[in-house]
Amino acid sequence: MATLLHIDSSVFPSEASASRAVTAAFRAHWQEQHPDGTVVYRDLTAEPVPHISADAHTAGFADPASHSPAQAAAFAERVRLIEELEQADAVLIGAPMYNFSIPSTLKAWLDNVILIGRTAGETPSAKGTPVTVVASRGGSYAPGTPREGYEYVQNYLAAVLGDALGLDVDFIVPELTMAPHNPAMAELVPLYEASRDRALEEAAVQAKQLAERFAA
């Protein structure tokens, strides 16, 4: 049976988070199509992973037999996260934009799982694994918009997940999520609603397609 690794990083609860709403819809459709599958869930806000430390970093380039106790403990945490990625048949990541970039908790997860010679390098250990990223944002940073140059979520994650880790990356982008809450954006509410509905539809389609692939 296939395994879905589901990661959320929004600081807001599900009822107030655009990214969590879409990842929840994706997961629900995945499980509906694949009821015997496994879901490994990580909420990086409720249970943050350690930010990379000197011990965790240097241990990745040293013979395990030479690890100090501190290195061994730090590296064991990295290995646990890496194995979750390697054992997943598909990955789902909620990545809201905060101050033009990803949450620090998601960056910490990435810093732990990127290991040259294993998950990254010439033969990435999870190469080809499909990953769906829900990249929500309060405004719009789409090509042609005034803030196009401030888009550091999709560009960064495409490079890290796709180029470094060799994953097969797709993005779902709910945008203008601040429109219902900011009077200055009131005229953009219909565009927000269309973006939200489109994101939920894309989540359903992608989840079903992946589930069908692994069920075949």
pLDDT: is 93 or 209 the higher one? 93
- pLDDT tens for residues 190-210? 999 999 999 999 999 999 998
The encoded tokens of residue 182 equal: 């900011």
Q: Strand 90-94 vs strand 168-172: parallel, antiparallel, or unpaired?
A: unpaired
Rg of the chain in Å (alpha carbons): 18
Is 162 in contact with 170 (CB distance < 8 Å)? no
End-to-end CA distance of the chain: give it in Å, rounded: 11
216 pLDDT higher than 80? no
Read off the pTM.
Answer: 0.95
Report the pLDDT value the prediction gives residue 15, as an integer from 0 to 100: 82
Report the pLDDT value the prediction gives residue 150, as an integer from 0 to 100: 93
137 pLDDT higher than 70? yes
* Of 30, 32, 43, residue with least CA distance to 3: 30
